[in-house]
Each structure stands twice: as C-alpha cells, then as structure tokens.
Amino acid sequence: MAKTRAQIARKHATPAPQSPPAQGRQGNGSLVVIAAAVAALFLFWYFHLLTLGQMTQLSGGLTMPDMMVGGYDVDYVRRLYEEMDDDARGQLSYLHRTAGTLFPLIFAFAWLLLIQLNAGRRRLRWALWSPVLLFVVVDLWENIAIDSVLAQATADPGAVALAATLTVLRWVLLALSLGAGALAVFLPPRLRASAGQETAAVSR
C-alpha cells in the first residue's frame, strides 16, 4: 500500500529539539552561584580584612573609613589625612578602584542569581533584590566619596557627613542583602513558588 505524501513527510521529519529539564538548569545555576559566592567571599577577605587592615600601617594605626561601621566625623578625617601621605592615599584610592569595585559587583551577581533561582514570585523576587541593588550603588558611591574627602587638606563637613552616611548605609545594606539571600533559600516552597509552579502543583 503506497504511503501518502503526509506520511512520508512525518517519517522523515526531524524531531524538534527538547529543552533541557528544569532540574538541569537549576543545577547549572547553582554551580554558578557557588562559584560567584566563593569569589565574593575571597574578595571580601582580601579587601576588608587583608588590604584595608594593612593600610593601618600607613595611617598611624587609624582604621580606614570603609571599616568604620558606626561612621566618622571631620576630626577623624583630618587626623587620617595628616597621618597618610600622598602615596598612602593613592594606594587607598587604587584599592577602591580594584578590589573595592569588584567585590560589590561579584557579590551582587551571586546574590541576585541566588534569589532568582529560589524566589519564583516576581514581587517577592524584586523585594529581595532591592537591598542587593542598593548595596552596589551605595558601595561604589562610598568609594568615590571617601577618596574625595581624603584628597583635600581641609575636610568639608558636608562631604564628610555624606561619606560617613554612605559607609554606615553600606554595612546595613550588606547585612540586609545577606538576610535576603538566606530568606530566599529557607522560605517554604509554597511561599517561594511562582503562580505557574503553583498551578502545575495543583493540577498534579
């Protein structure tokens, strides 16, 4: 019995490629998150604990502004300026442009992806993303503000107040970002699932 053209076409048709299973994509995303989180942890240690700690040897034992969680005032900035020479201030500015820039960017990448993989609901995802995005902006702004106040022999009170506020806010947002990531991971699946996932679960 001769086959029709439609039967012959179906026989030789190339099957449509199937998309990888969601579980595989989730696993690949998790590997990227782990790698980025390890890199962010290393940069945190390198920038905050190693290099900024070593900078105290060039500042008469005074702590760098980045590490002043409670903020600082004009007198502190003036004393720091007097203790640091041009080379020391240039070294601090270089650290801000390198490790001080890479850390918030890589940390944000890791945390945004972590939240993306675990928080399916759009509103929840954006709520958890907010402190991370704000942290990046404030951190990079703080680097510029600190370099600006230390570049002048006479510290401007307004500029110092801005830099100190950014420093405090930066640490607060970092803590909130860590909490947002933990919340995304440990929330019950029912609260983290997207509307489509909830519909699929009900239909099953």
pLDDT tens for each residue of 65-105? 999 999 999 999 999 999 999 999 999 999 999 999 999 99
Nearest to 182 by CA among 172, 193, 174: 174
pLDDT in tens, 141-167: 999 999 999 998 888 999 999 999 999
Tens digits of per-residue pLDDT, 16-63? Answer: 455 455 555 566 878 999 999 999 999 999 999 999 999 999 999 999
Q: Which two tokens stand for residue 197?
A: 């996932």
191: pLDDT confidence band, cut at 50, 70 and 90?
A: low
Separation of CA 21 from chain center = 28
Distance CA 87, CA 121 (A): 50
- 128/29 Cα distance (integer angstroms): 18
**pTM of the full predicted structure?**
0.81
Q: Report the pLDDT value the prediction gives residue 198, as an integer from 0 to 100.
A: 45
Could you tell me the CA-to-CA distances from 64 to 41, 118, 146, 167 in Å, in that order?
20, 36, 10, 11
Q: Read off the pLDDT band of 131 (50, 70, 90).
A: very high
As a whole number, the mean pLDDT across the chain is: 86
